[in-house]
């Protein structure tokens, strides 16, 4: 089982690992595309106004551009510890111990606008690039990544649970992956897709699957595991889609 997480715009500073070496990352087929984007970001960082426009930043966020300028020299951290924010707080990878931590290291991956796809332990520096960023002289990042990323994603073995948001899922499709929607149910029984609890809910779901002993191999098995854990989960309308249904305000 592989659980593919979205990245986050916020990232932890620093790191204890050496500077970036692409050969140390998983999915080496992606390295030419990775190098092209990294070199482009480093060059772009020399032009602050252009970087702000491309990355959607204000002058107060120039520190994010300085991160990009140092991409080849900055220290690295494991990907699953580099990303921060609501989903990663709920995942709380640092609290897993022993066999649970080892399982999570094998099962977790992160979709990335800069690196395409990372395993949990892949050492990466802090950076700023979102799926919706518009780099000068380039089309969308989805158009850039899909020729390189689609073949890699098509070769993933076993059950894949894709928790990426829409913009990151557009960078590359995972055939047969299970997706999860987070819905809220009102007292009258009507339901709507929500954003407020979406990230935290997906973080908790990822933690349950990543560290748990169960190893489901298909959608039915995944559904059983989640229901045994007490999650209000249902089959969705689309193929290979699950709905996590939360009470309004819950």
* Alpha carbon distance 113, 179 (integer Å): 19
- String of DSSP letters for 90-125: HH-GGG--HHHHHHHHHHEEEEETTTEEEETT-EE-
Asked whether residue 248 carries a pLDDT value surpassing 90, the answer given is no
Region 95-112: mean pLDDT is: 97
Asked whether residue 196 carries a pLDDT value surpassing 80, the answer given is no
pLDDT of residue 250: 57
pTM for the structure as a whole = 0.95
Question: Beta strands of the chain (E only): which ranges?
Answer: 2-5, 77-78, 108-112, 116-119, 123-124, 160-162, 178-185, 191-193, 233-235, 241-247
pLDDT tens by residue, 75-97: 999 999 999 999 999 999 999 99
Region 167-175: mean pLDDT is: 97
Over the chain, what is the mean pLDDT?
95
- Per DSSP, 207 falls in state H
Region 1-10: mean pLDDT is: 96
Task: Using alpha carbons, select from 95, 243, 118, 230 the residue that is nearest to residue 168.
Answer: 118
pLDDT of residue 249: 66
Region 29-44: mean pLDDT is: 98
Asked whether residue 37 carries a pLDDT value surpassing 70, the answer given is yes
Domain residue ranges of the chain, discontinuous segments joined by +: 2-247
Region 157-170: mean pLDDT is: 96
The least confident of 147-156, 191-200, 233-242 is 191-200
Residue 71 CA neighbour count, 13 Å, CB half: 23
Phi then psi for 231, rounded to 5 degrees?
A: -80, 140
pLDDT of residue 245: 92
pLDDT band of residue 106 (cuts 50, 70, 90) is very high
């Amino acid at each position: 089982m592989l659980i593919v997480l979205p990245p986050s715009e916020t990232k932890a500073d620093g790191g204890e690992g050496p500077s970036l070496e692409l050969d140390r990352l998983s999915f080496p087929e992606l390295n030419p595309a990775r190098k092209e984007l990294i070199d482009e970001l480093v060059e772009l960082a020399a032009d602050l106004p252009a970087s702000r426009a491309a990355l959607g930043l204000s002058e107060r966020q120039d520190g994010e551009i300085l991160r990009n300028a140092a991409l080849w020299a900055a220290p690295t951290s494991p990907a699953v510890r580099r990303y921060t924010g609501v989903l990663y707080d709920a995942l709380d990878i640092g609290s897993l111990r022993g066999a649970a931590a080892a399982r999570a290291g094998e099962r977790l991956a992160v979709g990335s606008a800069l690196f395409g796809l990372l395993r949990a332990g892949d050492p990466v520096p802090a950076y700023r690039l979102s799926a919706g960023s518009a780099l000068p002289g380039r089309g969308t990042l989805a158009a850039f990544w899909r020729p390189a990323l689609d073949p890699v994603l098509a070769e993933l073995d076993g059950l894949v649970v894709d928790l990426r948001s829409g913009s990151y899922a557009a960078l590359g499709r995972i055939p047969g992956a299970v997706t999860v929607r987070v819905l809220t149910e009102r007292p009258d029984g009507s339901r709507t897709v929500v954003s407020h609890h979406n990230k935290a809910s997906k973080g908790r779901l990822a933690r349950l699957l990543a560290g748990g002993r169960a190893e489901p191999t298909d959608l039915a098995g995944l559904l059983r595991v989640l229901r045994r854990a007490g999650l209000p989960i249902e089959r969705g309308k689309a193929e290979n889609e699950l709905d996590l249904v939360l009470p309004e305000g819950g």
